Structure formats: structure tokens, C-alpha cells
Chain A
Amino acid sequence: MNTKRIGHLARRVVLQVVSDRRTLALILVVPVILLTVAGVLIRVEPGEIRIGVVNEDEGVSLSDSVVLGDRLTSVFTEIGTFEAVQMNRSEADAALDEGEVDAVIYLPPTFTQDVMSTRTLTLNVQFEGSNPMLAERLNSMLERVSGQATNTVASASTGGIALDTNIEATYLHGGPEFDTLDYMAPALIGVFVFLFVFILTSIAFLRERLAGTLERLRATPIRPSEIIVGYMMGFLVFALLQGLITLLFTILVLNVHYTGNLLNVFIVETLLAITSVNLGIFLSTFARNEFQVLQFIPLVVVTQVFLGGVFWEVSAMPDWLQPVAYLMPLTHANIALRDIMLTGATLLDEWQPLLAMLAIIVAVIALSSRTAAQARI
């Protein structure tokens, strides 16, 4: 072993990396950026939970008039673990449908009577349910809170005898069988389409440039816009094929629940793939070889996975981070895909995320057309 030669070689390797500024930045800076983002997100407090309380309890007349519903309502509104708002039944239905409240607790006219006759405090809770993680957390929260409420109610109604509590849950969307995977799957389908189309396009276009075929193409009657559209069509085939396979796999093998129209899912995936193709063409100009293309993945794809609402809800992110998240195509795709698959939303319901995706597409097409027309040759 010649340590001197090894030293020379090691020195050369270090010099090579140092002289390639971007690889250096990739190794040193990008992990810090990603960890910062992840750190911020993991410590994010869950967004405030809002519930509606519909109190229709008519109470019973003993020596005094006893209305347990009123007492329970004040317990809920004062407890502070979640925000409880008193509303009537039609308001509550509308709020639940709009997603303004996460759950509604119904106290029927016979509530006091029922508690006294059955000696059980039964809470009828309807969960919005499209986020199973939230529904689960809310459920355990209610169990704790109703324990406290029982004590208050018990002293008034039964002279201090303990009551059993029982939560009867119903779900507007999904149900108790909806789990975290159901929540994640629509977003992951979007992530896969975006990731693979991005890798395929950027490498294909890079090769086109390096092999000199782009120069040949530009010496033919084909227009730069035609090159772009050709690429989109070509890769859309793979994107939709992949979409079909992942969708069938998640539904049939992973048993993910869905209620939406699968055609709508494909339309959102098409928009996402178009974005990805154009972003890939644009960014390929900044790479001199395949390795440098791969360097874009942490930057372009992983940040979107973190910020795009795959794991953490965008609305729960710090205020300064939310605008960044909304600049990312995957964020809007995730919103639309989730709504379509979990709550059966139509394309019209999702006009906001779809419009945002279209705006992003216009921007990336402008960038990629410049690339196709002016790429270094």
C-alpha cells in the first residue's frame, strides 16, 4: 500500500467535488434545507379543531327543570381543547358539508330523558371524516372530554351516581374504516406520476441535447412548440399508464377506499404530468450530464413531497411557509386528488386547485418553450 498515492487520489477526488460547486451545494446545503423544512413541519401543532354543537335538548321537569344539554354545551364551549360553536341543525349540516367544522355533536330533544332512563351518556357525533387522522384524534379527545362532562352532568341528574359514556359516531365522508393510508394514497399517486415523468423527461431531453439530435431537430421544419407538445404526448402515455397501475394497485391490493370518479383522477394526473414534462425539459438545460439531472430530484421532488400536503396539511403549516407550498403544483394536485377520491368531489367542486394547476402549467410551458428554442447546442 502506497499511502502517498492514496493521498494523491483522495486529494483529487476532493478537488473534483469542490470544483463542481453544485454537487458541493447538493451534498452540504440541500440536506440542511430539507431538514429545516421537515423540522418545522414535524413540530407544527395540529390546526385547531372546530366542532359544532346542536343542542335541541328539551330537558325534564323534576323539582327544578333539568336540561342536561345546556350544561353539556357549556362544558364543551368552555373546555378549550377544541373550538365548539353552538348552531342549529341546518347550520350544522351546511358547516359539515363545507368542511368548516370537523365534527358535529347532536343533542336530541330527549337527551336528558335518555340519560336519566339509561344512565348512560350517549353522544351522537358526526365526523366530516375525510381526514382519518383528524377524526381519530377528535374521537379520543371527545372520550376524554365527555368523561369530564359526565361528572358535571351526573351531579345534576343522578345525585352523583356515575354514568357510563358512549360515543355513537357517524361519518359524512369515509368512516371508521378509513385509515391513514386512505388519506395518503391519493397524494402518493400524484407524487409518483410527478416524480417519474420528471426523471424520464429531463433525462430524455438532456440526451437529446448531448447526442446532437436536438440540433438535428432544430434543422428540420419542426417548431419548438411542436417538440414540447410531442414530448408531452409521449410521456403522457407513460404517466397515465402508471396512474392506472398505481390506482388499480391501491384500490385492489392495498384496499384503499375511494368514492370519487376515476376519470376525474386521470384528468388531474394529466395536468400534473404536463407540468412535470415541462419542468423536466426546462431544468434539463441546467444539467450537463445524467448525474446532474438526478441532483434536481431532492430539490424539485422531495421539497414538494414535504410541502405539498402529502404528510402534513398545508393549512397547518406556519404562515410564512404556506405561500411556498401553494407555488408547488403537487400541493394543488393533492388537494384535488384527495377531494375527488375521498369525498367524491367533481371537477367543478375543485375549480380552485385546477385553476392553480393550469396557471402553473402556463408558466412552465413558457419556460420549456424557451429551452427548446434556445438550448445550447
Chain B
Amino acid sequence: MNTIEIENVHKRFGNIHALRGLSLSTRKGEIYGLLGPNGAGKSTLIRTIVGLYTPEEGTVTVLGKQMPDRNVLSQVGYMTQASALYNELTVWQNVAFFAGLMDCNDKSAIAAAIDFVGLSDRRQTPVAQLSGGMRQRLSLATVLVHKPDLILLDEPTVGVDPQLRVQFWQHFRRLAENGVTLLVSSHVMDEAERCDRLGFVRDGRLLAEGSADELRERAGTHNLEEAFLVFAGEAAHEH
């Protein structure tokens, strides 16, 4: 069973046609990279997957359930672009709050999530006193604390220093090895190499899909950036 199954999804905001018949699916335990420039529709797609937006056409199925469906969200983790945390609360309180919403009240799970992102010595620190990188790590902890089967990450490494970025991708790989499916959006092409499969997105359409090697081969280019431009050029001809 595919963890995410998107078929011919359309989403409009007034005059803006943000998703134009996009189809895509992810397999269990893979890291799927959603690549495309700003404004390509990556965030809209992720919000549609979690059910924040209802598409006008097409269907979104998550873990076998057609979205929007609140109940399936307890098996999903969603990390927004900006770290969404409660500044007045401590590290522990933030993780415990989001865990509680997902029906996970296990203290050892909370401790494990905080430990996973390396914030064990900051448990009682209020978020307001954390550095930007720590907040980003805490944000990840709040997303994975309830051991979801699917994690959606909207540009998780924006504004993250190179060292932490490497750490993040190690975390992602560890989660995937445990059977978690990850959908990661990015506009940084060098991160794409770390994904199992990639989807190139532009103007609300999926331009091409496959592993980094496959995409380079099909485009006949040496790097992904050029491959993206080749596919974008082909798409421009078609439409």
C-alpha cells in the first residue's frame, strides 16, 4: 500500500491555480523529496495532504484513508515551514502538548523524542531562550514524538546551519530505516541527493519523478539543477 496517493489534484485560491492536476505517490519507508522553486505549490500540496485544504478536483489518500480525515492524522507528523512552538512553554511542555493531541501520553516517548534531537539537557528551558537551530530541532521532536507512520516536512532545513542540516538528514534516514515514510520539500538541489525518490514540481504540476540518477539520465545532464531546467523546458512546450 502506498502511504500517500495523490490523483489529479486541483486547488485554486481565487485567480491563482496553485495545483494543476498533480498526481504523486510515496512508498512505505522511503524519503521522497519534493523539489521546486518558491511558489511551485509545494506547501499547498503538503497542506492538502494533511487535509488543511480540500482540493476542488482529484483525491488525496493518506495511509488508506481519503483526506480530509482527522482521525488518520494521529499517525501523521507535519512540520510547518516556520517552527510552530509555544514560546512561553518549556521544551518538555511543547513536546508533551503535541504528543497529547496525538493520544500519546507516554512519558518515555516524550523523553525519547527530546533525546532523538539532542535536547535532553534543555528539557526545562523555555522555548524563548533557545537558539534558532534548537527550535528547529525541537520542532522536529514535536512532529515525531507519537511515532507516526508518515512525516511531512515543509522545507525543514531552511535557515539551518550546515552541521545541523547533516544531522537532520541523519535523523530522517534513521526514521526511514524504521519504516517511516518521509515527504520532504526543498528548493535546495544538493539535499535531493539524499532522497530515495524525487518529484520535480513547478507551477502546480509534477514535471518528473524518479531517483536522482534516473532523472539525470533521462534528462541527459550531469547534475539535477540542469535536469530540472530540461524538464521545465519540456513542460513549457506542452502547455
Contacts and interface: CB of A to CB of B under 8 A. Distances in A.
Given A215-B52, A377-B52, A221 B84 contact: no
A216 B101 CA distance: 10
A89 interface: no
Interface residues of A, number: 13
Interface stretch (B73-81, B181-189, B213-221, B224-232): B73-81
A212 B154 CA distance: 13
A219 B73 contact: yes
A273 to B, nearest CB: 21
Interface residues of B, number: 23
Interface string B38-53: 0000000001001110
B108 interface: no
Given A220-B74, A221-B71, A223-B70, A211 B84 contact: yes
Contacts of A162: none
A213 B84 contact: yes
A217 B80 contact: no
A219 B85 contact: no
A212 B81 CA distance: 9
Most B CB atoms within 10 A — which of A219, A220, A377?
A219
Contact of A222 (B51, B82, B101): B101
A221 B82 contact: no
Contacts of B142: 216
B195 to A, nearest CB: 22
B167 interface: no
A50 interface: no
Contacts of A216: 78, 80, 84, 98, 142
Nearest to B50: A219
A212 B82 contact: yes
30 contacts: A211-B86, A211-B87, A212-B80, A212-B81, A212-B82, A212-B83, A213-B84, A213-B85, A213-B86, A216-B80, A216-B84, A216-B98, A216-B142, A218-B52, A219-B51, A219-B52, A219-B73, A219-B78, A220-B73, A220-B98, A220-B101, A221-B70, A221-B71, A221-B73, A221-B74, A221-B103, A222-B101, A223-B70, A377-B47, A377-B52
Interface of B: 47, 50-52, 70-71, 73-74, 76, 78, 80-87, 98, 101-103, 142
